[in-house]
Amino acid sequence: MGSEFNRTMTRRAMLGMLGVGGVTLAANMMAPASAQAPSNDDKLNVLDFGAAGNGQTDDALAIQKTLDACAKAGGGTVYFPNGTYLLHSRVTVGHNTKLVGKAKLVKPYNNQIDILNLAGNHIEVDGLWMENLNENAGININISRNSQHIVIRNCKFTGIRTQGIAMNATGIAHVLIQDCLFDSVTYGVLCNYKADDLEDLRIIGNQFLDIYGDAIELNSPITGTKKAIYESAGNIIIANNFISVPKGKGTGDTAGFGIGMAGVTRVSVIGNILKNCRYEAIHVEDNCRNISITANIIDGVQDDPDNQLNSGIYVLNAEQIAVIGNEIRNCKNYGVHFEYSKENQGNKATIVGNNITNCGSGGIRYAGNKMSDAVISDNIITDNAGSGINLAGSSHSIQVKNNIVRANKSHGILLEESKMVSISGNTVYENGGECIHVEKPTFSVPVGQSQTILNFGSSGNNSQWKIVGSLGIFAEGYIHLVAKHANLHCSKLFQLTWDETNLKIKLLKETGSGGIHISVPRMKSKQLEVNAYSDTPAKADLVLDVQYEGIIMLN
C-alpha cells in the first residue's frame, strides 16, 4: 500500500516549475476607487511626484520617483493617499523605507510579474491593497535577495493568478507578515525552493480566504538537491491564522493545502483555524525536521483530488514531528496520517492530546517500514468511519497508550500486521469491531493495561453476554469489573490465566449494594465475554466498566 503514496513526492518539483500557473482558477475582478487630496506633509506623498491615483493613469514611474527620493534621503515614509494607482511595471523599494496608506495598487495584465519588489533592509508595508490582474502568473509583493527585517501588515492581496507574497531568493531573513487579508489568490505566502536559507519568518494573525492553490507554502526541498538535511529554510512561526482552501476554487494535485511544508526545519504551527481545505489541511514531506503542530483547529478536508491522501495532517518522510493538542474533524480520510513510501516515512513522532472525530477513513493512521520511535498517547478518537488507530506496514518501536477510542465504525485499534509495539492504558469501547485487532499476525503482540465500557440496556439479563476483546494465545493478569445501574453498584476483581485452551479464573474480591450481579467471565473462542444484570429495571442503562491489568499476547 505504501508505494501508492509516492506520487506526492513529485509535487514540489512541479511547484517550482509551474509557479502560480499550475492551478486552474476563475474569479471576479474588483472595481477601482478614486484618488483623494493629499495630506501628511511630513511624508513623501506620491501625488507630489506626479501620481494620479485615478485607476486609469500609469502611476508606476511617479511612484518609483517617490521611492528613489526616499532612498536618496537615506530612507523615510512614502504615503499613498486614498485612491487606485495603476502600475504597468513593478516598483522597487529600498532600504529603510515605510509604505503607508489606504490605497489600492493595481497591475493590469501584461508581461510584468510583480507590483512591489522589496530589495533592501528595514522595509515596512502597511495598509495597502494590491491586486495583480495577470492571467498567467503574478506576484503582489516580491521579497528579493538578501532583504532582511521586512514587515508587511494590515495589507490586502487579490488577483486570481497571484502569489500574495513571494520569497524565492537567498539571504532573506527576519520577515513578519501580520494581520493581512489574502482573498481569492492562488498562493497566499509562497517561500519557494531558491529561498533555501530563509531565516526567521513569522506569519501571524492573517486571513486566507478562498485560496486556489496553497494558503501558506514553505517549499525548501532536499530531494534532488545537493543540500543536506537542515540546510534549508527554518525557524518559522505560523500562528493564529484563519485559512480556507475550499473545493471548487483551484483544481489539480500539486496544490490545495492549507499549510504545505517540504524540507523546512524548526517550524511552529500553532493556534491556526483551517476550514474546508480541498486536498489536505497541513502537509509535511521531504526531510522536514523539528516540526511542531500544536493547538490548531482543522474542520473539513475535502476530496480534490480524491486519492486517499485527504487528511487533516499528512506526514511523509519527516522526523521529529510533534502533533499535539489539535482539534480535527470532518476529514475525508484520516485526522492524522503518517505514511511511508519505499525508504521514506515519518519517524520520531509525538501524536499526543488530539481530539479527532468524524473522519472518513479513521482517526489516526501511522504507517512505516522501519523503526519509528513514535508515541501515540492521550488522544480522544471518536465517531470515525474506520478504525480509531491504524498501525500499518512493518514499522516498530511505537507506543500506543492512554488513548480514549470510542464509537468508531471499525476496530478500536487495528494492527494491519504484527509489529513491535507497546499497547497499554487505552480506553476502547463501543467500536464496530474488536477493541484491538491484528489483521495479519505473524508473531505475538503484547497488550498491557486496558479499559472498555459495555452497555447492557435497562437491566440486562443473565444470558446477555458481551465481548470484551481477544486474549490471544496467552494472557495473565487481573480483571476488575464495575457494574452500575441507577443507584445500584457491584464490583468484582478476578485473577485470570489463559493458555489458548483453558481459562483459569479466580474471584479475589467483591463489593456492592445488592440487587445487581456480575457473572464470572468466560471464553468464547479467543474472546473474553462478560455478563451483568439487575434485579429491577430502571430508566438508566446498566453499564459495566471492564479494566484489565496484566499481559495479553495477541496473535
Q: Does the pLDDT of residue 135 top 90, yes or no?
A: no
Contact of 366 with 395, CB cutoff 8 Å: yes
CATH topology of domain 457-554: Immunoglobulin-like (2.60.40)
Compute the average pLDDT of residues 72-79. 96
CA 148, CA 537: separation in Å to the nearest integer?
74
Q: Does the pLDDT of residue 458 top 80, yes or no?
A: yes
The per-residue pLDDT for 194 is: 92
Compute the average pLDDT of residues 47-76. 97
| 409-441 confidence digits (pLDDT tens) | 999 999 998 778 999 999 999 999 999 999 888
> Which residues does 38 contact at the CB level (< 8 Å), separation at least 6?
45, 47, 48, 79, 81
The per-residue pLDDT for 35 is: 41
CA angle 245, 249, 251 (to 5 degrees): 95
Q: What pairing do the DSSP bridges indicate for beta strands 114-118 and 396-401?
A: unpaired
Q: Which burial class, exposed, middle or buried, applies to 85 when counting CB atoms under 10 A from its CB (0-12, 13-18, 19+)?
A: buried
Compute the average pLDDT of residues 179-207. 96
> Which residues does 385 contact at the CB level (< 8 Å), separation at least 6?
359, 360, 361, 362, 408, 409, 410
Q: Which residue has the cell 516598483?
A: 91
Q: Does the pLDDT of residue 277 top 50, yes or no?
A: yes
The per-residue pLDDT for 184 is: 96
Contact of 23 with 212, CB cutoff 8 Å: yes
Compute the average pLDDT of residues 484-495. 94
| 375-395 confidence digits (pLDDT tens) | 999 999 999 999 999 998 877
**Number of Cβ atoms within 10 Å of the Cβ of 440:** 8
Q: Does the pLDDT of residue 526 top 90, yes or no?
A: no
Nearest to 19 by CA among 145, 190, 171: 190
For the chain, what is the largest distance between any 2 Cα atoms, rounded to a whole number of angstroms?
Answer: 96
Q: DSSP secondary-structure letter at 248?
A: T
Asked, as a colleague might, if the bond just before 32 is cis with ω within 30 of 0, I would say: no
Q: Which burial class, exposed, middle or buried, applies to 54 when counting CB atoms under 10 A from its CB (0-12, 13-18, 19+)?
A: middle
Q: Does the pLDDT of residue 7 top 80, yes or no?
A: no
Q: Does the pLDDT of residue 547 top 90, yes or no?
A: yes
> Which residues does 343 contact at the CB level (< 8 Å), separation at least 6?
none
Helix (H) or strand (E) holding 401: strand 396-401
Compute the average pLDDT of residues 50-56. 97
Compute the average pLDDT of residues 220-238. 83
Q: Does the pLDDT of residue 498 top 70, yes or no?
A: yes
Helix (H) or strand (E) holding 265: strand 265-270
The per-residue pLDDT for 477 is: 96
Q: Does the pLDDT of residue 237 top 50, yes or no?
A: yes
**Number of Cβ atoms within 10 Å of the Cβ of 246:** 18
The per-residue pLDDT for 15 is: 52
Q: How confident is the model at residue 42 (pLDDT cuts 50, 70, 90)?
A: low
Q: How confident is the model at residue 6 (pLDDT cuts 50, 70, 90)?
A: very low
The per-residue pLDDT for 442 is: 78
Task: Name the average pLDDT for the chain.
Answer: 89
